[in-house]
Amino acid sequence: MILILAPEISPQSDFYRQLMAHLAQLPGISTRVHEERGAQKTLLEVYLIGNTAALDLDAMRALPGVERVVRVSEEYRILGRHHDDQRSCEFVYNGVRFGQDNLNVFAGLCAVDTREHVEIMLRTLQTHGQPCTRMGAYKPRTNPYSFQGHGKSCLPYVFELAGKYAIKVIAMEVTHESHVDEIRAALHATGQATGVMLQIGTRNTQNFELLKIVGKQAEFPVLLKRGFGITLEESLNAAEYLASEGNRMIVFGLRGMKTNMGDPHRNFVDFAHVPVVKRLTRMPVCIDPSHSVGTRDASPDRILDVMHVTAQGVIAGANMILVDFHPAPGKALVDGPQALRLDELAWFLDDIAIARSAYEKRVARAQQTVSN
């Protein structure tokens, strides 16, 4: 059960002290308090853990300072969308809003290779009015002899150039606690020239110690990729690990599931789960068409498969797109075969706009039916 306190209640207030003293006396119930920092206001949420079935909903509602009470189902206690649950589905980070009702594009390099490529990429994004990007410094690779990313050595110029080209958020994978510290230090050294969304890759979805570390820090939002060989439920529980440690700025990423060798795509595209994740949880949902498809193949209509599946995710309500671009895909050190070229960015963005407007029309049409 979650008690959502009235906005004027602070941890220093008498109401709060009285409430907590009362809750401490309830048999078999322990509490955990979370500060939910929204765009406009900060709300205190008190999580009641234990034998909450015995508690009377109306009695809890009547407690001093309590504005609303949510009885949670067992699944995804914090991130889940529970009955009568009006809690927010959005957060703002470094001026960029992430919600279940909007869409942000993160086009960029799968892996940082040269300073020159980083600069060309970021300049092109600015030209197209894009404030977000993806840039991998730490690359967990299947083969130990493959390029593993430049690591912390590239962070100073990546962040400095991001600031120069007005990039607000960079999605960047981390695989170890030290990476978070290195990112924090490098951002500090550039005077917070940009912001970073920490990415947990599909190989680490169930790396619970990493999830706890990333969940404990409240500075950076997190993009958690679905595990490519586990169930959706297991992946959503991994997101709940992050939230249970305190971080609520979480985006859930779909990136395709492992399938048979020789299938047309690198992974089986799972974007039919966009509305499912939005229904089960309050997280914004990201799609990664590049790692799902894995090629630059096009169909007879001349549309690349990467664009087809992006449109499929967007028309189903996706909130974020993580996509590989490269100024010279043939020279990319990681995942060149799936990267789009910079001269395809305008087309890609137009294609997204078409799909998004179709989604918005679909939502409006559905609302007509519901209100009739």
Residue ranges in contact with ligand PEP by CB under 6 A: 110, 136, 173, 201-203, 225, 255, 288, 291
Closer CB to Mn ion, residue 221 or residue 289?
289
Closer CB to ligand PEP, residue 89 or residue 110?
110
What's the full length of the chain, in residues? 372
Both tokens of 344, joined, read 């395809």
Closer CB to ligand PEP, residue 60 or residue 321?
321
Closer CB to ligand PEP, residue 89 or residue 104?
104
Closer CB to ligand PEP, residue 78 or residue 172?
172
CA distance 124 to 330: 18
| CB atoms closer than 10 angstroms to residue 83 | 8
Beta bridge partners of 133: 170
Taking the complex as a whole, how short is the minimal distance between the CB of residue 256 and ligand PEP, in angstroms? Answer: 8
Taking the complex as a whole, how short is the minimal distance between the CB of residue 324 and ligand PEP, in angstroms? Answer: 8
Instruction: By CB under 5 A, tell whether 173 contacts Mn ion.
Output: no
Closer CB to ligand PEP, residue 78 or residue 196?
196
Residue from 113, 288, 305, 335 binding Mn ion (CB under 5 A): 335
At which residue do the structure tokens 């706890």 appear? 212
DSSP 28-78: TEEEEEEEEE-SS-EEEEEEEEESGGGS-HHHHHTSTTEEEEEPPPSTTTT
The closest alpha carbon to 290, from 100, 107, 103, 104, belongs to 107
Beta bridge partners of 50: 29
CA distance 269 to 287: 10
Instruction: By CB under 5 A, tell whether 333 contacts Mn ion.
Output: no
CA distance 361 to 356: 9
Taking the complex as a whole, how short is the minimal distance between the CB of residue 288 and Mn ion, in angstroms? Answer: 9
225 binds, among Mn ion, ligand PEP, none (CB under 5 to 8 A by kind): ligand PEP
Phi-psi sector, 186: left (phi>0), alpha (psi -120 to 50), beta: alpha
Taking the complex as a whole, how short is the minimal distance between the CB of residue 18 and ligand PEP, in angstroms? Answer: 47
Taking the complex as a whole, how short is the minimal distance between the CB of residue 291 and ligand PEP, in angstroms? Answer: 4
202 binds, among ligand PEP, Mn ion, none (CB under 5 to 8 A by kind): ligand PEP
Q: Binders of Mn ion among 105-124, rule CB under 5 A? A: 110
Instruction: By CB under 5 A, tell whether 155 contacts Mn ion.
Output: no
Q: Which residues bind Mn ion (CB under 5 A)?
A: 110, 335
